Structure 1
Amino acid sequence: MIKLNSSPKVYTGWTERSCHPKDTLARIEQFTGPAGITRVADITDLDRLGIPVYSCNRPGAADGAISVYNGKGGTEEEARAAGIMEGIERYSAEAIPRDLQNHTFQEMQLAGYNVLNPEELILPQASPKGAAIPWAEGYDIVNNESVYLPFCAVVHPNPLYMETLFRSSSNGIASGNTMEEAIFYALTEVIERDSWSLAEVTRNTGKKLTNLPEKVAEMAEKFTKNGVEVTLRDITSDIGIPTIAAVADDVELKDPRLLMIGMGTHTNAEIAMIRALSEVAQSRATQIHGAREDATLARFREMMGYDGVKRMNAYWFAGEEYKSAAEIPSC
């Protein structure tokens, strides 16, 4: 069972980590080969913003997974480390043994295991009830105990030989310098996606932020001085962890593929804002780079055109309610 310990923040540059990015890079470079990473490239200069973005290639990625990943940050070291770490986390999510044993939920209960009922995962209607599936041992962070949950909720992508209940996704997969750091960023990603989903469903995209902190304003200025309008919005959910959306419109190019939104979630509200902005920069550079396999949305936007895409996402640009960034409490 996982035992959590204190993991002090050592690096507090444009993010917060348990060690300096240069030390992270020194530790992880040796794992690029075993993880199947063949190329790490600086793609910052493909765009005009100047916010560091790196690309990481894993051509041997499993069927159903993308093979190109990206990392962003306030410095080159942060972005390079982020790109490689994403490649390693995706490799780790594919580490699935072939000798999996299938059991039903009831069989696991009768065997005395603490097991999560698959129906708590909001299964698709077509998902088979009472199916025999493989299970993975996890850690219940609230109750401090081991718990078994469907293997398909843990890995990505689901291999063809594995019995599943639903399609897998990369939501909640994270890496870190320590176990605690990895868990923290996995949790914030899930919270971020939940907040984003709520904003999309309700069309409540939150108030626009003013009086940005110094570092946030510095990064936002890289957009505005290059003809990219960017707005930060507070979409924090009832969970209460600061979650920020950065909505960007390249008013110079008017390219529908560059109507971008970036999300950031962190217990430090300023870091959440920085993550949202840097994610927009990453998405722009990734789109321009054109190496990712998941280009369906970009093609759809091209067909719709700039005005059409902007109309479809009007709720992200609309509204004249504002709040000071200082009003968002850190946890």
Structure 2
Amino acid sequence: MEQYERIGPPADEALAYLMSMRQALGITRIADITGLDRVGIPVVQATRPFSFSNAVAQGKGASLARAAISAILESAEGFFAERIEYFDVVHGSAKSLEIPSGRYETWLREPALADWRDKETAWVSAENLLSGSCEFVPLELVHTAYLVPPSPCDGIFTPTTTGLAAALDETDAVTHGILECVERDAIARALKTHGFLQHERIDPATIDDARVLTLLDELARKDMIVGLWLAPSPVGLPVIWCHLMESNPRETALLNLPADGSAAAFDPAAAVVQAIHEAAQARLAAISGARDDITRASYPKYPDWQLIAAHRQLITGGRKDVSFASQPAYRAAAGETLLRSLLTRLEESGICAVYLVRLNTSPWNRLSAVRIIIPQLYPLVE
């Protein structure tokens, strides 16, 4: 299975380095919450109480060390994106800065301001990885300082963490950020597609990858049912959406509601594994109750048991129209790196801009934190 292997030092070395900076990042607690659920996929939470967005970050991985690395990196990327004082900001309107018409319309808040191009706002310089040119992107699509009251320059664009990534290697961070943009766009398209869940489910009988089959067997032994859907991506990379539920009676289930996760990868099998891991992480977010973006609405006093039963039926007995075996893996062109081939694929699919904003990570110059913005791809607004 060809998949994207994260670049950088061995897990133990990376974790030791990240643990040494946790206090300066404001991380007060790193917790292994795997045992709260029966699934068994390692999940770790990192708590940063003075965060300007989510105070609790989560990470998952094939091992506890990798899950801890994932959690700390997620918390760290938010920390660096909050430091607005480190950005070189330019103030002006889209019209005065000659931002191409149509470039950011997909990312406008609803209801969109008719005269938004005339409104002065904050911009930062970004590198277009397709052309090599430096262009302006809205600061609102880069920072994560979600304050009350908000900055006077906020309010035009949809705030999101999509494309935010940190790693101990810049190529790794950039690749991770691009894949997240592709993933969120595909899920946004799926949500806009009438009847998507009824028509784009993967037939489990067509799965021929040993790693995926082993993982599905392990989940079945733990009374978990898995639904997998192929989400539509104009880029052509496999994007998998996973729904994970318990098959236990509601009296003994830890969590009756379905949990979902999604992933984009170079290989459909890798995307399936990552999406399942993401869904397992989402289950633990709900079970632990620690995430500050999960409100009381997620825990109804009187669950809609008919809706829950219908969703379980959708997973176990619904149509299975998509063949997993027919989904191609994405290979790097001869002589090219995966990142360069990925950028070529984006350009061939009609994308004209892939913006890279390098976040200031001083004094930890060994760490790379980036924000990737691909304006032509949809944001995922939940």
TM-score by length of 2: 0.74
**Residue 207 of structure 1 is aligned with which of 189, 201, 208?**
201
Structure-2 residue corresponding to 1:141: 129
SS at match of 2:151: coil
Kindly indicate whether residue 141 of structure 2 is the aligned counterpart of residue 153 of structure 1: yes
Alpha-carbon offset, residue 325 of structure 1: 3.8
Structure-2 residue corresponding to 1:247: 243
> For residues 1-331 of structure 1, what are the structure 2 equivalents within 5 Å?
16-19=5-8, 20-62=10-52, 65-97=53-85, 100-109=89-98, 117-119=103-105, 121-127=107-113, 128-129=115-116, 130-159=118-147, 160-164=150-154, 165-202=156-193, 203-205=195-197, 206-208=200-202, 209=204, 210-254=206-250, 258-296=257-295, 299=298, 303-309=302-308, 311=310, 318-325=318-325, 327-331=327-331
Query: Is the Cα contact below 8 Å between 2:126 and 2:135 reproduced in 1?
Result: yes
Bigger mean CA deviation after superposition, 254-263 or 306-315: 306-315
Q: For 1:198-250, what per-residue CA distance to the aligned partner results, in whole angstroms no more than 9, with x for missing partners? A: 11211324231432422222222232111111122222422111111222221
SS at match of 1:107: coil
Bigger mean CA deviation after superposition, 151-160 or 45-54: 151-160
SS at match of 2:97: helix
Distance of 2:133 and 2:100 partners within structure 1: 9
Distance of 2:104 and 2:171 partners within structure 1: 26
Alpha-carbon offset, residue 38 of structure 1: 0.8
Query: Is the Cα contact below 8 Å between 1:152 and 1:158 reproduced in 2?
Result: no
Q: One-letter code of the match for 2:110?
A: P
Distance of 2:321 and 2:77 partners within structure 1: 39
Distance of 2:80 and 2:101 partners within structure 1: 23
Among all aligned residue pairs of Structure 1 and Structure 2, give the percentage whose two residues are the same amino acid.
23
Cα distance change on mapping 1:115 and 1:320 into 2, 3 Å:
closer
SS at match of 2:30: strand
Distance of 2:31 and 2:75 partners within structure 1: 13
Cα distance change on mapping 1:198 and 1:297 into 2, 3 Å:
farther
Aligned residue pairs total 315
SS at match of 1:169: coil
Q: For 1:139-162, what per-residue CA distance to the aligned partner results, in whole angstroms no more than 9, with x for missing partners? A: 111111111111001112444234
CA RMSD of aligned residues (A): 2.8
Structure 1: which 5+ residue stretches go unaligned?
Answer: 1-11
Distance of 1:84 and 1:60 partners within structure 2: 15
Q: One-letter code of the match for 1:259?
A: P
Structure-2 residue corresponding to 1:3: none
Query: Is the Cα contact below 8 Å between 1:52 and 1:75 reproduced in 2?
Result: yes
Cα distance change on mapping 1:312 and 1:49 into 2, 3 Å:
closer
Structure-1 residue corresponding to 2:371: none
Distance of 1:257 and 1:292 partners within structure 2: 18
Distance of 2:29 and 2:60 partners within structure 1: 16
Cα distance change on mapping 1:186 and 1:45 into 2, 3 Å:
same
SS at match of 2:27: coil
Query: Is the Cα contact below 8 Å between 2:230 and 2:240 reproduced in 1?
Result: yes
Cα distance change on mapping 1:301 and 1:281 into 2, 3 Å:
same
Distance of 1:14 and 1:242 partners within structure 2: 11
Higher RCO structure, 1 or 2 (CA under 8 Å, sep 6+):
2
TM-score by length of 1: 0.85
Alpha-carbon offset, residue 35 of structure 1: 1.4
Query: Is the Cα contact below 8 Å between 1:43 and 1:54 reproduced in 2?
Result: yes
